Structure 1
């Protein structure tokens, strides 16, 4: 029987003050890690930028606009978008997501998958995305709904920076 598995210590910082607060915890973390694992690795790396509040607001706005023009609720459209646009992207780009999704969710009937994507279960998809992934996800949503003839708010009118979201052509 080997040593018990433990989660790695992860601390995120955007300011020196946050970094110093994380450093203050390191002596104890390093002591515990070396006692538990022996050899350890210390890595400092750039943190990927996660989706933005503006991106989330735009998605919600579009889903409400689709609800007003279509035959489903915003939450039903949200579940559809997660299943059809977010899941394929995450399966392709995140091996851990693919493994768990394929093992647990993929065998379910289509209707169950749609339910799983919606509240109250709300299978995590977009909260796992980086800002770039969320931009591509929003592109897919925009293309889908405007392709159905729905009118969605132009992201430029919401003050969203073009570098954060590229509107579909």
Structure 2
């Protein structure tokens, strides 16, 4: 029963204090970890979903979910294969032998891995997330997709 709350306003601070108090009342022992900063997921996920939408609008790849599956498989998996020996070992053991279409399908929502599909981007640290963004932008810009407005918001 682990809860994670990003505190970015008074309401979220109140929510965190309330949950901590309730957990202490119920269990009497609670482990709390605190760190300053924003989660990678908030800003990067919003950017990625904007990019997936743009890719779906400006290419024949399919809808946003198709663009997401493609990017996870072609760019995200490669980043993790290059940088995470544990991921590489398990990928090669479990996924490598599967046909391309099955791998692509598993990158999206499915019964085995849930609504987000095979975990790829959720395993990224911030630097890997930046690398993923750059690879998507580089590849699809060469295929006529314009991300200038999305990427300028990211830099702001």
* Same fold flag (TM > 0.5): yes
2:80 matches 1:85: no
- Which string of whole-angstrom CA distances, capped at 9 and with x for unpartnered residues, describes residues 2-60 of structure 1? xxxxxxxxxx9x99x99xx9xx657xxxxxxxxxxxxxxxxxxx9xx862311110110
Runs of 4+ in 1 over 3 A off after TM superposition: none
- TM-score with structure 2 length normalisation? 0.69
Structure with the largest fraction of helix: 2
Task: Tell me the SS of whatever aligns to 1:102.
Answer: helix
Q: How many residues align?
A: 129
Measured in 2, the distance between the counterparts of 1:125 and 1:50 equals 16
Q: Provide the alpha-carbon RMSD of the alignment.
A: 3.0
Measured in 2, the distance between the counterparts of 1:156 and 1:66 equals 14
Measured in 2, the distance between the counterparts of 1:132 and 1:115 equals 26
Q: Which residue of 1 aligns with 2:51?
A: 62
Unaligned runs of 5+ in 1: 1-11, 27-45, 163-169
Question: Is the CA contact 1:83–1:114 (under 8 Å) kept in the aligned structure 2?
Answer: yes
Distance 1:88 1:124, change over 3 A: same
